[in-house]
């Protein structure tokens, strides 16, 4: 084991802070409402089937010229307002998305410019539907270790650009929207331990159909026999469904135990809005008492991947379905397959 060299100075490190919490939450839903009937213009399906199998009645799609930066700007401004912080207070932006249309650079620095945040640490997180909950975990650790005072965590998607409207297996489920949270120092523990993990064996369960390299080969080498096509996201729905119900529901239970919270002490359960039937199965597996409010934002918002947890929690708080200051279990899961879950005190 190596030890510090003799006579060298000990490194100066920032003073740690004991606790962190979410100080403010914001959300943005695009204006355009897309009905199941409209989705069924492109796939062999029905309003009845979509409602029964997913709980989705309608979803929102962003306008063609509306970007993930536009959507996250609106959500972030709300979160910053509730947190009582200005652009000058934000040290770091963690930007969770899988729908930024540039390989590089990241979206986070662009959002910083929009919000007038000068020179923050800024990077994107690629953990799909678990991205926001990973972001909350990382922001918590950054604030507590003293490496940042206020961290802006964004979950945003414009999946209408990446889902094939003719794909019967996914066109009806995914949608667009943004959520944001400001995490900062606190007098009490506001973010419990995060349980996270991944299963790379199921990497192909939710996947961009073709790699960019295949697309390049198809364009540059017509003799390759490859068809140049937009690499839409493809999902093995049944397999993901089973994984969510059998592997992720127990994680929800363990997350409560890690925080020292029993199901009846929860003021809200906010699972990733993947499918209403998955949420119901988790509620059952956790033996969640009937009076604990469960997020059901998917009905009118669809599955917005990284944005779904903050969108759903914000709606519950705004509607008075969950109390500010109360305890919520939030859990994100999806492509990777990856998951992250924690109990938080709601702002």
How far lies 233's CA from each of 167, 205, 276, in Å?
Answer: 10, 10, 21
Question: Could you give the CA distance from residue 33 to residue 314 in angstroms, rounded to a whole number?
Answer: 19
Question: Could you give the CA distance from residue 63 to residue 124 in angstroms, rounded to a whole number?
Answer: 23
Question: Could you give the CA distance from residue 316 to residue 333 in angstroms, rounded to a whole number?
Answer: 20
Whole-number minimum distance, CB 215 to ligand UT7, in Å?
Answer: 23
Residue number, 206 or 288, with CB nearest to ligand UT7: 206
Residue number, 54 or 186, with CB nearest to ligand UT7: 54
φ, ψ for residue 159, nearest 5 deg: -75, -15
Question: Could you give the CA distance from residue 330 to residue 151 in angstroms, rounded to a whole number?
Answer: 19
Whole-number minimum distance, CB 267 to ligand UT7, in Å?
Answer: 24
Whole-number minimum distance, CB 197 to ligand UT7, in Å?
Answer: 15
If DSSP codes are grouped into helix, strand and coil, which group holds residue 122?
strand
Residue number, 21 or 60, with CB nearest to ligand UT7: 60
The answer to whether residues 207 and 309 touch, using CB atoms and an 8 Å cutoff, is no
Whole-number minimum distance, CB 203 to ligand UT7, in Å?
Answer: 14
Q: Classify the C-alpha dihedral 193-130-25-182 as positive or negative.
A: positive
Whole-number minimum distance, CB 59 to ligand UT7, in Å?
Answer: 13
Of residues 149, 144, 88, 96, the one with CA closest to residue 119 = 88
Chain length of the chain: 347
Q: Which residue is nearest to ligand UT7 (CB)?
A: 237
Of residues 77, 156, 142, the one with CA closest to residue 116 = 77
Structure-block tokens of residue 204: 């192909």
Residue number, 28 or 172, with CB nearest to ligand UT7: 172
Binding site for ligand UT7 (CB under 6 A): 43, 45, 49, 53-54, 129, 168-169, 172-173, 206, 237-238, 240-241, 244, 274-275, 278, 303, 305, 334
Whole-number minimum distance, CB 98 to ligand UT7, in Å?
Answer: 10
Residue number, 42 or 265, with CB nearest to ligand UT7: 42
φ, ψ for residue 173, nearest 5 deg: -100, -40
- In sequence order, the β-bridge partners of residue 156 are 178
**Can you tell me which residue has the tokens 């199941």?**
36
**Can you tell me which residue has the tokens 């970007």?**
67
Residue number, 215 or 331, with CB nearest to ligand UT7: 331
Catalytic residues: 129, 272, 303
């Amino acid at each position: 084991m190596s030890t510090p060299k003799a006579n060298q100075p000990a490194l100066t490190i920032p003073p740690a802070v004991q606790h962190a919490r979410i100080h403010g939450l914001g959300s943005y839903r695009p204006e355009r409402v897309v009905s199941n009937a409209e989705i069924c213009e492109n796939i062999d399906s029905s309003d009845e089937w979509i409602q029964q199998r997913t709980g989705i009645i309608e979803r929102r799609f962003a306008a063609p010229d509306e970007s993930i930066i536009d959507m996250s700007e609106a959500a972030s401004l709300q979160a910053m307002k509730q947190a009582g912080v200005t652009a000058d207070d934000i040290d770091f932006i963690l930007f969770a998305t899988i729908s930024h249309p540039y390989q590089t650079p990241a979206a986070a620095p662009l959002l910083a410019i929009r919000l007038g945040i000068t020179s923050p640490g800024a990077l994107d997180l690629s953990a799909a539907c678990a991205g926001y909950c990973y972001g909350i975990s990382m922001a918590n650790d950054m604030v507590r270790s003293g490496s940042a005072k206020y961290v802006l965590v964004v979950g945003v998607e414009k999946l209408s650009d990446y889902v094939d409207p003719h794909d019967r297996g996914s066109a009806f489920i995914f949608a667009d929207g943004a959520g944001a949270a400001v995490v900062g120092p606190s007098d009490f523990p506001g973010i419990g331990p995060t349980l996270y993990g991944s299963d790379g064996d199921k990497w192909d369960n939710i996947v961009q159909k073709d790699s960019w390299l295949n697309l390049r080969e198809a364009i540059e080498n017509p003799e390759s026999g490859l068809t140049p096509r937009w690499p839409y996201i493809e999902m093995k729905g049944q397999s993901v469904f089973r994984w969510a119900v059998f592997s992720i529901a127990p994680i929800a239970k363990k997350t409560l135990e890690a925080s020292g919270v029993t199901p009846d002490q929860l003021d809200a359960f906010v699972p990733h809005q993947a499918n209403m039937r998955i949420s119901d199965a988790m509620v059952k597996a956790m033996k969640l008492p009937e009076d604990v409010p469960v997020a059901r934002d998917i009905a009118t918002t669809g599955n917005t991947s990284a944005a779904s947890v903050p969108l759903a929690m914000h709606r519950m708080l705004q509607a008075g379905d969950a109390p500010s200051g109360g305890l919520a279990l939030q859990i994100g899961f999806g492509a990777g397959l990856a998951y992250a879950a924690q109990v938080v005190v709601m702002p």
